[in-house]
């Protein structure tokens, strides 16, 4: 028995080491791999529809679906990125030239506030310019310098961006064409019995799919609506505001209100009453309702994680993985919930069905 145990132990060690080595080699392309999986999941219904139209033509269906991904996702993302860089560089130039001084804007806001509000907030409210500038230098200047660095180095990083997009599209094609076979291989590779593995993968995919549709698409819709409203009201840098609202929408406990509420208060306090009131109305009854209207349609009855878990996992994902954490954080939380729910329900006989009574 010891003679058989050593080869098995050695093979398992080789399996673990080779897996770690592969993940290390592929780690520079973690982002493209992740977004290729996301794109394949979102556009899988289109790919399956094309397969029903052309049975057996997997390459053709995957290629046409890939063109749809390029037209619907890549091209708008590139155009948005270019416009965002231009707008951000314009805002940065105004800040550097002194045309946009946030401390002056806050002092102007204080001059417009009613006396009772100044009394309630204290006599020093919004008047400590030195402390205000110090806070801005510590919390805003670094971010602005980083943004300016990316703007100035955009030409140098364009090649890397094109490589990432190319890898994403290349992998998306194979995930679309061979996705079911890859999922089957992954299923067979899990160190679980067939019932547990099937239930775990099904619930994990449902949670991730619901998270993608219920978070990213709703956030994009809210950012688009919010940016359009800011543009219609003549507010400077509407694209930046729209992107900020899209990001804040991904955080359930924060939402888009953290962006448009201060702007509305500023407009009302500075005498722009109709713009401020319009923004309040649109924020409450247009931007705010996008989530309530779209999320049930996009998610349906798919598995949905509690908001507090989405909040913690999204912030944690951002801290650990950067921008990709918007997906990886909730995905890891979804795997965590799926595994524990499966453990609690205890599928019987490996069939993936919950038991009807307490276990004996």
How far apart (Å, rounded) are the C-alpha atoms in residues 317 and 196? 27
How many residues belong to the chain? 360
Mark residue 352 as left, alpha or beta (left: phi above 0; alpha: psi -120 to 50; beta: remaining). Answer: left
- The verdict on 283 and 166 lying in the same domain is no
pLDDT confidence band for 357 (50 / 70 / 90): very low
- Among 310, 346, 343, 339, residue whose Cα is nearest residue 325: 310
Higher pLDDT, 7 or 325: 325
Query: 7 vs 109, which has greater pLDDT?
Result: 7
78 within domain boundaries: yes
Average pLDDT score, the chain: 75
Query: Is residue 178, in this structure, part of any structural domain at all?
Result: yes
104 plus 45 within the same structural domain = yes
Phi–psi pair at 252, nearest 5 degrees: -60, -35
- Does residue 344 lie in a domain region? yes
What's the pLDDT score for residue 73?
87
Clarify whether residues 212 and 263 are in a common domain: yes
Q: Which residue has the higher pLDDT, 157 or 306?
A: 306
289 in Cβ contact with 321 (< 8 Å):
no
Same domain for 146 and 39: yes
- Are both 229 and 346 inside the same structural domain? yes
Q: Do 243 and 282 reside in the same domain of the chain?
A: yes
Residue 333 within a domain: yes
Q: Confirm whether 215 is domain-assigned.
A: yes
The pLDDT value recorded for residue 111 is 61
SS (H, E, C) 95-126: HHHCCCCHHHHHHHHHHHCCHHHHHHHCCCCC
Residue 142, in any domain of the structure: yes
Final residue of a structural domain among 189, 208, 231? 189
Q: Are 60 and 161 in the same domain?
A: yes
Same domain, 216 and 168: no
Query: Same domain, yes or no, for 185 and 201?
Result: no
Of 91 and 268, more confident: 268
Residues 172, 177: Cα–Cα separation, whole Å:
8
Q: Which of 173, 189, 205 is the last residue of a domain?
A: 189
Q: What is the DSSP string of 194-228?
A: HHHHHHHHHHHHHHHHHHIIIIIIHHHHHHHHHHH
Alpha helices in the chain (DSSP H): 2-26, 30-42, 44-53, 58-69, 75-97, 102-112, 115-121, 129-136, 142-152, 154-189, 194-211, 218-232, 238-249, 257-269, 273-282, 288-299, 307-321, 325-345
Residues 51-77 have a mean pLDDT of 90
80-125 pLDDT, tens digit per residue, is 877 777 777 776 666 666 555 555 556 665 665 555 555 555 545 4
**pTM of the predicted model, to two decimals?**
0.68
Token readout for 41 is 């999941």
Domain count, the chain: 2
Among 131, 159, 189, residue at a domain's last position: 189
Structural domain that includes position 247? 194-352
Say yes or no: 238 and 183 in one domain: no
* 357 domain-assigned: no
The reported pLDDT for the residue numbered 164 is: 86
**Lowest-confidence segment of 254-258, 285-289, 348-352 by average pLDDT:** 348-352
**Within a domain: 102:** yes
* Cα(241)–Cα(238) distance, integer angstroms: 5
Mean pLDDT, residues 285-310: 73
Q: What percent of the chain has pLDDT over 90?
A: 12
163 and 225 housed in the same domain: no
Q: Exposed/middle/buried for 350, CB within 10 Å: 0-12, 13-18, 19+?
A: middle
Reported confidence tier of residue 170, pLDDT bands at 50, 70, 90: very high
Instruction: Tell whether the model's pLDDT for residue 332 goes beyond 90.
Output: no
């Amino acid at each position: 028995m010891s003679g058989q145990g050593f080869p098995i132990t050695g093979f398992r060690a080789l399996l673990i080491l080779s897996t770690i080595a592969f993940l290390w080699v592929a780690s520079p392309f973690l982002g493209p791999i992740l977004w290729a999986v996301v794109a394949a999941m979102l556009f899988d219904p289109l790919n399956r529809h094309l397969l029903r139209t052309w049975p057996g033509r997997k390459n053709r269906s995957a290629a046409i679906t890939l063109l749809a991904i390029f037209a619907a996702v890549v091209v708008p993302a590139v155009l948005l990125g270019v416009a965002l860089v231009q707008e951000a560089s314009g805002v940065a130039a105004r800040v550097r030239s002194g045309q946009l001084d946030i401390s002056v804007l806050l002092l102007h806001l204080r001059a417009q506030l009613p006396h009772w509000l100044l009394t309630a907030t204290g006599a020093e409210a919004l008047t400590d310019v030195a402390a205000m500038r110090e806070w801005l230098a510590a919390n805003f200047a670094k971010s602005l310098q980083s943004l300016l660095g990316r703007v100035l180095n955009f030409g140098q990083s364009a090649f890397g961006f094109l490589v990432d997009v190319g890898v994403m599209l290349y992998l998306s094609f194979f995930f679309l064409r061979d996705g079911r076979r890859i999922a089957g291989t992954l299923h067979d590779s899990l160190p679980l019995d067939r019932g547990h593995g099937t239930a775990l993968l099904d619930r994990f995919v449902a949670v991730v799919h619901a998270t993608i549709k219920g978070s990213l698409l709703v956030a994009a819709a809210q950012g688009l609506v919010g940016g359009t409203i800011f543009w219609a009201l003549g507010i400077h840098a509407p694209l930046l505001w729209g992107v900020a609202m899209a990001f804040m929408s991904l955080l359930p406990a924060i939402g888009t209100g953290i962006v448009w509420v201060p702007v509305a208060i500023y407009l009302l306090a500075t005498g722009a009453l109709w713009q401020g009131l319009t923004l309040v109305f649109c924020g409450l009854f247009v931007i705010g309702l996008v989530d309530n209207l779209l999320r049930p349609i996009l998610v349906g009855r798919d598995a949905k994680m509690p908001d507090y878990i989405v909040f913690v996992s999204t912030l944690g994902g951002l801290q650990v993985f950067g921008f990709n954490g918007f997906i990886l954080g909730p995905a890891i939380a979804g795997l965590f919930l799926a595994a524990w729910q499966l453990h609690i329900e205890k599928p019987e006989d490996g069939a993936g069905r919950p038991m009807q009574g307490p276990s004996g």
